[in-house]
Structure 1
Amino acid sequence: MDSASLPEQIRPASIPDAEQDGSRDKLTIQDASPPSDNKHGLSLNVHVDSHASHEHTHHHAEIRARHRYTIRRPRALQFSYRSQVIHAGDERGLHETNSRSSISSHLPEDIAKERERLDLFIDLIWVGIIGNLSEVFSSLGFRAEDPNLGIAILVFTLVFLPSWRIWDAMREFLNNYYMDDMVQRAFTLWILLLSVFYGNQLAYLTKDIDEVKQWVISTYLVIFGAFWLIELAYSIFIKWLRKLVFFQTILRLPSIALWVTAIQLPGARAIGPVCGAIVWEYLCPIIMDSQVTARLTPIEVKKALDVHHFQSRMSNFFIIILGEGVLQLVKDGPLGLGLNGSTGVMIWILMIYYEFSFLYFNRDGSRKFVPAATKRGQKTLMWVFWHIPLFSSILTFASSVMFIIRHQPDAPYNSLTGQASAEKIPQDDLPLYLYRAVWTCATSLGVIMLSMTALALLDKSLDEPATLKINNRYIRLAGRIVYIIVIPCVPAAHNIDADLFLGIAAFMLLGVTVWEWNVGLDKGGALIEPLGLSHMMSRELKA
């Protein structure tokens, strides 16, 4: 147990020096001719790394993450002491060095890479879990007997929110305590085993909801019980964590009671306790971070985020969600053999996924900005909150478009889901089902764009005037507002079938993307790069 007092352990987190990127020796080659001699009025400085020849003549060597101990003493990688974020050194217990990782704000490069690989493995498991979540919505919303989109959305929401908390709890654990010792590896494997079992139970949710509900909730409670136990064990070594674990335990007792009650209640009667448990669990972090709690509880030290890892993990989950939709376009060959009508539908759907990927990472188009995730308090909570409807709406959109593809006139129905649906749904009722799928797509697209716009506006732009072609970010995002308003209204028009709707949605989204790309160009930029620039580059390199 650490015997040093807290003030001796903490030190302010150093800010990475922006000049570190330019610390290498570089040779600057400039054009000998005056700038006026160039007909395009362009000047070019070529920076050649003096180590380039060295890298080509010697073998490239990498360093594996160092492991000196089988079991390490737990420590928090970072924490907040009296509202100041403290980085407590790397996982070896050493002081921070000047060589930092681009992946993490304070972990060494080798350790950060190890954590990144583990994150990737976790995401592979969640690809399957997300696929089952998507099938839950599709099975309830588009089943042949008594389809009900309202019930489908309700059940999907009640399943998605706890499922996302499992992923987020694993993200938070690795963010706070990653050490990569054998105890932590065993714990991680245990959580992953439970997660795989949890995801498998979701596949049977629509068949026998009462029995599956018991397994799902029980596994969920075991998973979070494991997180509670590991933090309780860590609190033996991390003194400030003891109070935090105590107050978190008290706060979570009501939700545990509600989950247990939901296990006992049959059918729709369990909806109330489940809703109450979910709402309370999502309120707990807000209560813990509130000013009222800070005044009423003697907690000076709290958990803090590794912001870079936090943003990276949220972005990764966004890619997983998009990947689930793209995977369904390929899995089991739903488009059929050769070119047909389903191929055209696939083009529109893939365009939509591709353009959403651009818009999410483009944010509000600012060149320099402060991400909302780096700010403490309400903005960070709102940033996390808007990801929830974003993720869930992408899944409902993916379920709806896959129903449309599987029920094209030339669909092969070589997937089990498509074959079962084709046999059960009467041909006379199919247009009504497709119309319902179109409305679901339209609503989902509107919510996706609304969530992305809110996330973009939460960032703080630091661009100076005249930095971009259009500096006003509200004008840059105006196309999204038009899309949010128009796209839910398109299905109301007469003679709009599924293929036409998806084509309209894709081309409208393409218009938004092209608009944001062009208005976000640097001031003085042009549509086409001048021809002389490549000639100048060749001349500089020859010199």
Structure 2
Amino acid sequence: MTEIASESKEETAAPRALFRQPLALQWLENGNLVKRTESERQAGRFELFLDLLYVAILANFAQNLAGDVTGARLVQYILILAPTWHIWSDLRELMNSFYTDDMAQRIFILWIMALLVVYGNNATLVGENLHAMWATVGSYIVARMSSTTVHLLYSFSSYHHRRQQRLWFCLSLICLSVYIPLFFESVSIRSKVAVASVAIIFEECVWIFCYSPASKRLLNVKYSTAVDIPHEIDRFAAFFIIVLGEFVYAIVVGSPAAVGFNDRLYRAILTLIIAFSLNWLYVHNDGAIKCLHPLRHSVYTAFPWIVIHLPLSASLLAGGHVAAMSASVSELERPELWLLCGSLGTGMILMYVIAVLCKSQDEPGKLIVAKSARIILRLVAGIIMIFLPLSKTLDVTAIMSIIMALIVLCVIWENVTSLMRGAKFWEPWKDTKYPEHIASQEDTV
């Protein structure tokens, strides 16, 4: 794919208007990437403000699951978490392609956040209260309808994504109609679970289709969607940090590990190390010096990389909450141990897949160890974690210690083996003296 010059360079200052015309920030034109401006855009302040609400919503979902670890609660957790991911993804895509930061977009973000407050307060009660079910499903449908309607509106203000936006709007209406049976009291809970599962999977498939090369060929478009890759990576990294926040928030709030040095405090520190190391592995990717990000490589790596963040977030969120909870209790129940180990183990396996999706462009033999050997410990560690609860002799402290040791081992292994051949562990310190001191010594001599 070849990048050509931007269409306009008159982006030195934003127009003085409360409501700005939404224009595509980047697009593909006959297969060539065109950007309206060459400056790199980071996440906006109101996008980050939206993330604050997700901290509370995700914590509520994880706490509800950890409070009663059953198969039914696990299914409910997945089914209520996935829609919040869809809403967040809608806003991420909208801001990635049509960021104006005007009054309309700020009010729209506030509107979506208000709907998320309704959703977050009712979603954990969908299996117990019909009114909670109505509020949850209703707020979700309205939130997604709002986002798709904005896409439809923007298709009139900018022609660059027009056909795909309108296709997305029409297919989204069909997707959301699948949720209608959830409003009926006569439909059993099991049937509603099946309906919600089908709807969520259908939405994922529709999203992939609408923004895939297949839809572009079907629509025969000259202008099509493209993403601002640095902004996209930045937003996913921000969401990943929100998930890791579940590890560290509960180990301090309420002073669960007081007083003095004790087992709970030790587990709190283990939880911190686990979260820090997971963030380290996520940033490290596959450790290559020249790494082609999955979003830049091809559509066959970009879509899996995006989609895999949902199960990754769900796994680490649940595992992080239980890990943090270990700092406030003397022992975890067996179901909680399975949730802890299964979630973190699954998260490590998914992080292995993310590293696989990265394309190393280093020459063979340039690094100490080849990519496949560098990242394989993630997979091995994940599998070991999942089966730790099979041991009847390991208590929560021992299990947390093993999990921490496995993840730290991955971090150390990957950082050491990612060094270039001939690299030194310690770089010599040079130029530590003030220049004027060196000059005076030379004059003296």
- Shift in CA distance, 521/539, structure 1 to aligned 2, threshold 3 Å: farther
1:108 maps to none
Rounded to whole Å, the distance in 1 between the matches of 2:27 and 2:328 is: 50
Secondary structure of 2:326's aligned partner: helix
Task: Decide whether the 8 Å contact of 1:210 with 1:266 is kept in 2.
Answer: no
The answer to whether the 8 A contact 2:368-2:420 is kept is yes
Where does structure 2 lack aligned partners over 5 or more consecutive residues?
Answer: 7-11, 440-445
Helix, strand or coil for the counterpart of 2:373? Answer: helix
**Aligned counterparts, 1:52-201, within 5 A:** 66-87=14-35, 89-90=36-37, 100-101=39-40, 104=41, 112=42, 115-141=43-69, 148=70, 150-201=71-122
Q: 2:276 aligns with which of 336, 354, 357?
A: 354
Q: Is the 8 A contact 2:66 2:336 kept in 1?
A: no
Displacement of 1:242 in angstroms is 4.1
1:468–1:520 Cα contact (<8 Å) kept: yes
> What is the match of residue 365 of structure 1?
287
Residue 85 to residue 376, structure 1, CA distance change in 2 (3 Å): farther
Question: Match for residue 417 of structure 2?
Answer: 519
> Highest CA radius of gyration, 1 or 2?
1
Cα pair distance change 1:448/1:540, threshold 3 Å: farther
Alignment of 1:209-358 (within 5 A): 209-264=129-184, 265-358=187-280
CA contact (8 A) 1:140 1:151 kept: no
Q: Describe the shift of the 1:346–1:65 C-alpha distance in structure 2 as closer, same or farther (beyond 3 A).
A: farther
CA distance in 2, matches of 1:291, 1:516: 35
Q: Which residue of the partner structure matches residue 395 of structure 1?
A: 317
Asked if 2 retains the 8 angstrom alpha-carbon contact of 1:210 and 1:267, the reply is no
The Cα shift of 1:372 comes to 0.4
CA contact (8 A) 1:394 1:444 kept: yes
Do residues 489 (structure 1) and 387 (structure 2) align?
yes
RMSD over aligned Cα, in angstroms?
2.4
Please list, as runs of the form range in 1=range in 2, the aligned pairs for 1:9-28 lying within 5 A after superposition.
Answer: 13-14=4-5
Change (3 A) 1:182 1:481: closer
Flag the 1:237–1:66 CA change in 2: closer, same or farther, 3 A.
closer
Query: Is residue 2:433 matched to residue 1:538?
Result: yes
Answer with 257-266 or 497-506: which moved more.
257-266
Separation in 2, partners of 1:388, 1:442: 18
Letter aligned with residue 464 of structure 1: E
SS of the residue corresponding to residue 302 of structure 1 reads: strand
Task: Give the superposition deviation at 1:66.
Answer: 4.2
Distance 1:479 1:269 in 2: 41
User: Which amino acid counterpart does residue 183 of structure 1 have in structure 2?
Assistant: A
* Match in the other structure for 1:429: none
SS in 2 for 1:85: strand
Letter paired with 1:524: G
- TM-score scaled by length of structure 1: 0.74
1:446 and 2:345 are equivalent in the alignment? yes
1:73–1:499 CA distance, 2 compared to 1 (3 A): same
Tell whether the 8 Å contact from 2:66 to 2:322 is kept in structure 1 after alignment. Answer: yes
Structure 1 unaligned segments of length 5 or more: list them: 1-10, 16-63, 91-95, 105-111, 142-147, 410-432
- Output one character per residue of 1:172-225: Cα deviation in whole Å (capped at 9) or x when no partner: 11101011222222222222222233222235446x343212111100111111
Question: CA–CA distance in 1 between the matches of 2:61 and 2:31?
Answer: 38
Q: Is the 8 A contact 2:285 2:354 kept in 1?
A: yes
Cα pair 1:397 1:444 within 8 Å, conserved: yes
- What are the Cα deviations for residues 279-324 of structure 1, in whole angstroms up to 9, with x where unaligned? 1100012222445434433433222100010000001100010012
Aligned 8 A contact 2:26 2:228 in 1: yes
Shift of 1:537: 4.2
Whether contact under 8 Å (2:164, 2:211) holds in the other structure is no
Query: Per-residue deviation at 1:501?
Result: 0.7
Q: Which amino acid aligns with 1:538?
A: K
CA contact (8 A) 2:151 2:169 kept: no
- Please give the per-residue CA displacement for 1:86-108, whole angstroms capped at 9, x wherever unaligned: 21x24xxxxx5xxx33xx3xxxx
Cα separation, 1, equivalents of 2:116 and 2:344: 29
Q: Residue 4 of structure 1 aligns with which residue? A: none
- The residue type paired with residue 288 of structure 1 is C
The structure-2 alpha-carbon separation of the partners of 1:486 and 1:172, relative to structure 1 and needing over 3 Å to count, comes to same
Which segment drifts farther, 257-266 or 311-320? Answer: 257-266
Contact 2:345–2:386 (Cα < 8 Å) also in 1 = yes
Distance 1:185 1:494 in 2: 53
1:328 positional shift: 1.3
Once residues 50 and 4 of structure 2 are traced to their aligned partners in structure 1, the CA distance between those partners, rounded to angstroms, is: 29
Question: Aligned-pair distance for 1:460?
Answer: 1.1
Amino acid at match of 1:270: K
Q: Which amino acid aligns with 2:106?
A: R
Report the AA paired with residue 249 of structure 1: F
Q: Cα offset for 1:500?
A: 0.8
Q: Quote the Cα distance in structure 1 between the aligned partners of 2:88 and 2:212.
A: 24
| Cα deviation, residue 493, structure 1 | 2.3
Is the 1:397–1:440 Cα contact (8 Å) retained in structure 2? Answer: yes
Q: Which of 345, 348, 355 is matched with 1:456 structurally? A: 355
The answer (yes or no) to whether the contact 2:312–2:347 under 8 Å persists in 1 is: yes
Name the CA distance, whole Å, in 2 between partners of 1:522 and 1:502.
33
Question: TM-score if structure 2 supplies the norm length?
Answer: 0.89
Question: How many residues are paired up?
Answer: 430
CA deviation profile, 1:249-281 (whole Å, cap 9, x unmatched): 332233222111122234232112111110110
**Counterpart for residue 443 of structure 2:** none
